[in-house]
Structure 1
Amino acid sequence: MEMNGKQPIPIYLLAKAPEPHRVKTRMQPLLSAQHSAGLAAMMLEETMSKVSEHWAGERILAAAPDIDHPTLQILATRYRFRLEAQVEGDLGVKMWHVLEQGIVRSGGAAVLGSDVPHIPDYVIGDTYRHICMGKSVVGPALDGGFYLLGLTVLPKGIFANIKWSTGSVYDSLKRNAKSSDILFAEHPILRDIDKIEDLEWLANQDARYRKFLA
């Protein structure tokens, strides 16, 4: 589906290349650097698989620091994602960049993190439909952040004064959105998989992840 004859609505999946000592570091030393990288790769593939199946528009993997990483290249080909490098800056700068180019080109865009491989399939499809109807949508995270954001307009101050990696991120985003007259449709709260207790929870939901705790 397209909006007003524009290009299909894109979703940008933000991810780091799954390199030891660079990903899932908050799970170390309880998880080795190699296991942390393996976990990150598995979570990324699970997310890409779901997006590939349930997102009707364009799919872009916005990665850092090295888009030539073999795992990224393989997964992008397998699940038909366009691969591009993240810009430098904090999370707000990275999201602003991809959302801006998506909205200019397609009239709407979504950005998704790779820390919620358990995201329900319907959330992905519903996000696309919300954007097609001109609605903004957000997926709150249990830790006070958000795992997904879909917009059809991009107010200048949408990410202003947000203290990233704190429990106030989502509240700050909502406050900024309200000041720009944006009302979000909200998806269910999901748990980011960042710490070892999060992995233990995920392994209880999905036995495939138990191997990382063995």
Structure 2
Amino acid sequence: MCADEVTTANFPLAILAKAPVAGQAKTRLIPTLGAEGAARLQAELIRHTLSTALQATHSSAVTLWTALDHQHPLFLELSAQFAIALKPQPQGKLGIRMYHALHAMGQAGLLIGTDCPMLDAELLIACQRCLTESDTVFLPAEDGGYGLVGVRRPSRQLFTGIDWGTADVMAQTRQRLEEMQWSSVYPATIWDVDRPDDLARLYALNERFRHPQ
């Protein structure tokens, strides 16, 4: 951790979220959960991620960057209930979408997805505080990617030439950081929910995920 004392902060936080559309959400889990079941799980992961985010920072600082269906009822419900901003993800590779969300902040902030339910508010706040000491902060994922990125200032270079969706993402990003001569810290390694083998750990974390609303 980059800080010993952790309290609620107020910092920009972007969440990339795919709409829970049956057949298009959590597709790798469809063979196990079915299309509707995978979509319900996606909806529960979005709700859980937003709940965690709102424990770490003010709702006015949270932006839900939407994909698949920008006007999905869940997105509209969450925006109305919690007064969070909704913005459509731009077209393009993941790196372009991440850069766009971080650039829109106009200041140092964090970006996460909805696939890492083990993230908690304490870790989010600590990661933000890391940006007072480092150019970037990452939470590497066990699968070779990362589940959180924070930057003092965004740069397209950091997100270009990366083989997104592979086990090389974090390694390639570390190499890019060296080329840019940017400092970075890695407070923790996390895991995400992407494949059927991940479900047992998800259910152990919170039984609610077994029977999402």
Taking structure 1 as the reference length, what is the TM-score of the superposition? 0.88
Secondary structure of 1:118 counterpart: coil
Any conservation in 2 of the 1:24–1:37 contact (CA below 8 Å)? Answer: yes
CA RMSD across the alignment = 1.7
Q: Which residue is 1:97 aligned to?
A: 100
Within the candidate set 19, 22, 26, 2:21 is matched to 19
Q: Which residue is 1:69 aligned to?
A: 72
Hey, which bits of structure 1, 4+ residues long, moved more than 6 A?
A: none
Any conservation in 2 of the 1:65–1:85 contact (CA below 8 Å)? Answer: no
Any conservation in 1 of the 2:56–2:125 contact (CA below 8 Å)? Answer: yes
Alpha-carbon shift at residue 199 of structure 1 (Å): 1.2
Q: Which residue is 2:204 aligned to?
A: 204
Aligned residue runs from structure 1 range 31-180, under 5 A: 31-56=33-58, 58-102=61-105, 105=106, 107-132=107-132, 135-180=135-180
For structure 2, list consecutive stretches of 5 or more residues without a partner in the other structure: 1-9
Secondary structure of 1:149 counterpart: strand
Secondary structure of 2:22 counterpart: coil
CA distance in 2, matches of 1:39, 1:22: 12
Q: Which whole-Å deviations, capped at 9, do the CAs of 1:118-176 have from their partners, x for residues lacking one?
A: 21321111122223556421111110000100001223421222111100000111111
Percent identical among aligned pairs is 27
CA distance in 1, matches of 2:156, 2:45: 32
Any conservation in 1 of the 2:203–2:210 contact (CA below 8 Å)? Answer: yes
CA distance in 2, matches of 1:210, 1:15: 20
Q: Which whole-Å deviations, capped at 9, do the CAs of 1:21-42 have from their partners, x for residues lacking one?
A: 0111101221111110100000
Q: Which whole-Å deviations, capped at 9, do the CAs of 1:41-67 have from their partners, x for residues lacking one?
A: 001100100101112571000001222
Taking structure 2 as the reference length, what is the TM-score of the superposition? 0.88
Alpha-carbon shift at residue 20 of structure 1 (Å): 0.2
